[in-house]
Amino acid sequence: KDAPKDNIFDKQKVQPSKPAPKDIALDDRLVSYFDPSSMVAEQFKRLRTYVIKPGTENSPKTILVTSTMEGEGKSMIAINLAITIAVDLNSNALIVDCDLRNPSLSRWFGFREQRGLSNYLLGEAQLPELLVKTSVDKLTILPGGTVRDNPVELIGSKKMKSLVADLKMRYDDRYIILDSSPLLATTEPRVLSDMADGILFVIKSADTPRESVQQALKLIDKKCIIGVVLNQVEFKTEALIRRYFGTDRYSDYRYSAKQSEPSSSRQSASRTRIRK
């Protein structure tokens, strides 16, 4: 007889089994939710329109968000992007916390979830009981789960590849955001890049060394990069862009946001470059 199918293959069973806690308190830097008409939120909408083009053949549905090192703002950008997808496109969005070394996604939404992706990959829990529906309509998260000492093996496992492939195939109306660990510090982003349709690369302006950025970009296929976000730019200058990239190969727009981990809210003018 055929082996029993995993619950993941039953679309009806892979719906969030629980809402977020009632006392949930979203981080106030999720401006796309708290202040959707602000200039900052508008820039996240522009990021979404540059990266995602509904109805076009090559529009990415699974996006990997990573950075050179920790503290560059990738999680904040990943979540705000997902919120604009859910709210403005009225589409289902799923954020997966793929940083199994330091899972932080649930904290952005005001709660601590002990179980998540790592528990699913180890067969300790079924997917439906790990998905959490957030306060944002049509936005669901899969927390990172219990911290493990073998994250590379878990992320690179056949079960992880099957999970992403099946979610992409069976949820054609859903956008999947993979919030990964940093490129220079870990191997996982390189593994995940093969599972995603495109990579959104986040750089912290005036903080991340140019040499580190160049080293990180050598680790992945540049043709897979659909956007480069230069975060926390304090002033307007093309010289800063040339410092990182050498030539003007990007379209640009600005947004504001500071910090990469849930804490106090701060904002500053920033610039984003989107690769043509």
pLDDT at res. 258: 43
* Residue 19 CA: distances (Å) to CA of 65, 142, 254: 25, 12, 34
Measured between alpha carbons, how far is 29 from 264 in angstroms, rounded to an integer?
8
User: What is the residue type of 70?
Assistant: E
Give the DSSP H or E segment for 238.
helix 238-245
pLDDT at res. 176: 96
Query: Pick from 147, 155, 157, 208: which is nearest to 180 by CA?
Result: 155
Query: What number of other Cβ atoms are within 10 A of residue 194's Cβ?
Result: 13
pLDDT at res. 93: 93
Helix 39-51 vs helix 74-88: crossing angle, to nearest 10: 80
* Residue 64 CA: distances (Å) to CA of 73, 176, 190: 14, 9, 10
| Mean pLDDT of the chain, nearest integer | 76
Query: What number of other Cβ atoms are within 10 A of residue 57's Cβ?
Result: 5
> Angle 56-176-179 (CA atoms, 0-180°, nearest 5)?
130
Provide the β-strand partners of residue 227.
200
Measured between alpha carbons, how far is 152 from 252 in angstroms, rounded to an integer?
34
Q: Note if the pTM is more than 0.95.
A: no
> Which domains occur in the chain, in start order?
7-275 (3.40.50.300)
pLDDT at res. 143: 94
User: What is the residue type of 170?
Assistant: R
pLDDT at res. 275: 43
pLDDT at res. 273: 43
pLDDT at res. 151: 94
Ranges of residues in the chain with a pLDDT under 70 are: 1-40, 113, 233-276
